[in-house]
Every structure is written in C-alpha cells, then in structure tokens.
C-alpha cells in the first residue's frame, strides 16, 4: 500500500513504523519543522528543557517496551526524583507511594530523542513544513493537496493523526465517498475539546536553591500554576554549568483565558505565582521563554470505532481516541490501532 500519514507526532510515528515494517510505502506529512508533536525539547542558553510532555510513563505499555528493548538505550534514563503535591504558599505534601512507584522515563538530552529514534528505525519519506489543505477520496485512491492547492500525490490510504479539531477541519474541506459518514465523523471529532497550555521556561544560576523534588503538582488543580518541573534533576547534562532549570505549566483555565496575551505579561504573572509559592529565589530568573500549546490535552474522548465505523480509505487516530487524557503512550497505541486496521482490510 501507498499510505500517507498526516502528522508526525507519536500517533503518526507509530502508524508509520507499523506499516513500513511489512514493506508498505509510507509518506509522513508534518506541518511544523520537526517531529514528535508535544514530545518536544527546546534548548535555551545551552540548557535543555522538555517543554511539552515531561516523561513517558506506564512501564508496561507498548511504547515503554519499545524504548527499553528495541531502540538505542544509550541516553535513556529513569527519573528517580519524586513528584510531590504542593499547596498554597508552597507547602509540599509528602510523596504518594503509589505515584512514586510508577516508572518515569526520559532521555538525557531531551525527550525529543524518542521520536528521532523511532523515525531512524522506519523506512519512510518525511515531508516537513507542509500543511494538508484538502483530500479527495475515490474508489481507487486518495488525492492530497497542500494549503496552497499544490498536488502532493495519490495514495491508497490516508491516516489523519492531528488533534481532533484539525482532523475535523480537514475532513470538512475534503471530498469523500460517503458524505453522511463524513459528517458523522466531523461531528464526533468536534465533540472533543482540548485544553490549551501555556508553558514558561525559566533559567537560574547555580546559586538558586536545590529543587525540592523532580516536579510539583498543585493539589488544587484549579490554581493558575499547575505544574512545576526542575529539569536538571533528570540529568545534569541538561544544565552544563550547574544552572537550575524550571518548567512552569499553567493550568487549563488560566491558559485559555490568557492564551493570546503577550509573552511579557505571561512571564510577569508567572513570576508572581512563583514568588507566592516558592519565594523570591525563583522569582528572579536570568532568562526565560514561553511556549503556547493550543491543543495540549483532550478533555473527553471519542472511540476509534465511532470515527472509523465505515470502511474506507481515510482513517482517523490520535490522542482524542484513547483514554487517559492524551498520554503519550496512548497516542502511540492509537497509531498502532489505525495501522492494524489498514493492514487487515
């Protein structure tokens, strides 16, 4: 089969790997400059931050097994420092033993190592910085065009892996053989609402106090400052000169309300939250960056069978089709499910 996969996040990479291994011809289209989706790493001032997904959990998942047994493990590390809850004014709650027992994996120089290793194990064509504008499904194939209406080729099948609203938009602008089924799929996909996330990256000199944990999660999940992660606890190589590195992820309500504000305002307000909860030591970073995730985590889900009820040449998968609110290993499983469906048709 000639298969086009739209989106080179974890679902897309999973589908590409599963389809390429038996010899199918796979083309991965990605709208951005890199792969991995929210499995993303950024370098600032020579330091390494995972500014999307933080770690890979669920040690018994297909993805964790792949990481530990099939891919290069040279830079694979287990995060052993605890994740704790924190209350108002920075009061830290003792670690939950069950939470600490769950294994957490990452890579020494950033979690983006994972999608790169997967891609290196795949025989496929990767096309970056290309946004798909429309599709046309016929009885024989699916034709693709980019957003500027340039022809991208003809394929036996297409797998959509983008966030549910974006997949719905693409289906809406496309021609399919079963228009009633298309409308049902669009309605189901648009029923999934994604929480946005504002992520602030902060760098401090070596005199900043030692981190109290690998990460702090707000006990009150409605608070603006939801998650704090001290990146240098993952691996000292992430902060080569002994810097202290902090990821501050703001909660969904705050992120939605303030998503369009300037970086300056988001940064200033984040410092206020840090001052309130961690004191002055973390309210005066040397440098910072801001990342906006419009589609951070799906709120609710739709089943794979609901959006792929009718047999056809266009399949949909992704984190919105799995439980656990967009976990990386679940997105990977969804890609495998789509590939399995195609192979068995």
Q: How many helices (H) and strands (E) does the chain have?
A: 10, 19
Domain boundaries for CATH 3.90.660.10 within the chain: 41-112+194-298
33: Cβ–Cβ under 8 A, 6 or more apart, which residues? Answer: 128, 129
User: 4 has which bridge partners?
Assistant: 27, 158
The pLDDT score that the predictor gives to residue 153 is: 97
Domain boundaries for CATH 3.50.50.60 within the chain: 2-37+117-191+301-344
- Output b/e per residue, 209-220; b: 16+ Cβ within 10 A: eebbbbbbbbee
pLDDT over 90 at 345, yes or no: no
pLDDT over 90 at 100, yes or no: no
For the entire predicted model, the pTM comes to 0.95
Average pLDDT over residues 98-103: 78
Note the pLDDT tens digit of each residue in 30-86: 999 999 999 999 999 999 999 999 999 877 899 999 999 999 999 999 999 999 999
User: 195 has which bridge partners?
Assistant: 297
pLDDT over 90 at 98, yes or no: no
The pLDDT score that the predictor gives to residue 315 is: 97
Half-sphere exposure of 208 (CA within 13 A, CB side): 25
Decide the pairing of beta strands 47-50 and 215-218.
unpaired
Domain 41-112+194-298: CATH class, spelled out: alpha beta
pLDDT-derived band at 281 (thresholds 50, 70, 90) equals: confident
pLDDT over 80 at 141, yes or no: yes
The pLDDT score that the predictor gives to residue 200 is: 98
CATH H-level superfamily of 2-37+117-191+301-344: FAD/NAD(P)-binding domain (3.50.50.60)
Note the pLDDT tens digit of each residue in 7-46: 999 999 999 999 999 999 999 999 999 999 999 999 999 9
**Lowest-confidence region among 119-128, 212-221, 248-257:** 212-221
């Amino acid at each position: 089969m000639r298969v086009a996969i739209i989106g080179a996040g974890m679902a897309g990479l999973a589908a590409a790997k599963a389809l390429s291994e038996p010899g199918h011809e796979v083309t991965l289209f990605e709208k951005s400059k890199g792969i991995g989706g929210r499995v993303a790493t950024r370098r600032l001032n020579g330091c390494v931050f995972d500014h999307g997904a933080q770690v890979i959990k669920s040690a018994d998942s297909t993805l964790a097994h792949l990481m530990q047994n099939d891919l290069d493990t040279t830079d694979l590390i287990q995060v052993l420092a605890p994740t704790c809850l924190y209350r108002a004014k920075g009061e830290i709650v003792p670690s939950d033993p069950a939470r600490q027992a769950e294994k957490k994996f990452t890579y020494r120089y950033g979690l983006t190592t994972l999608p790169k290793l997967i891609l290196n194990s795949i025989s496929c064509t990767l096309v970056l910085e290309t946004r798909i504008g429309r599709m046309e499904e016929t009885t024989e194939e699916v034709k693709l065009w980019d957003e500027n209406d340039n022809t991208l080729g003809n394929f036996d099948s297409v797998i959509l892996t983008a966030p549910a609203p974006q997949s719905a938009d693409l289906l809406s602008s496309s021609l399919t053989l079963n228009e009633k089924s298309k409308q049902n799929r669009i309605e189901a996909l648009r029923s999934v609402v994604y929480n946005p996330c504002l992520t602030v990256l902060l760098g401090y000199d070596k005199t900043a106090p030692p981190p109290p944990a690998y990460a702090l999660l707000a006990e009150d999940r409605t608070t603006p400052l939801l998650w704090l992660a001290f990146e240098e606890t993952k691996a000292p190589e992430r902060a080569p000169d002994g810097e202290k590195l902090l990821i501050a992820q703001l909660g969904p309500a705050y992120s939605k309300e303030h998503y369009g504000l300037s970086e300056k305002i988001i940064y200033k307000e984040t410092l206020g939250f840090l001052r309130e909860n961690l004191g002055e030591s973390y309210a005066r970073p040397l440098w910072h960056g801001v990342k906006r995730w419009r589609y951070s985590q799906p709120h609710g889900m739709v089943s794979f069978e609901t959006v792929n009820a009718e047999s056809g040449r266009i399949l949909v998968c992704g984190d919105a089709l799995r439980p656990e609110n967009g976990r990386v290993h679940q997105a990977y499983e969804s890609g495998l499910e789509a590939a399995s469906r195609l192979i068995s048709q």
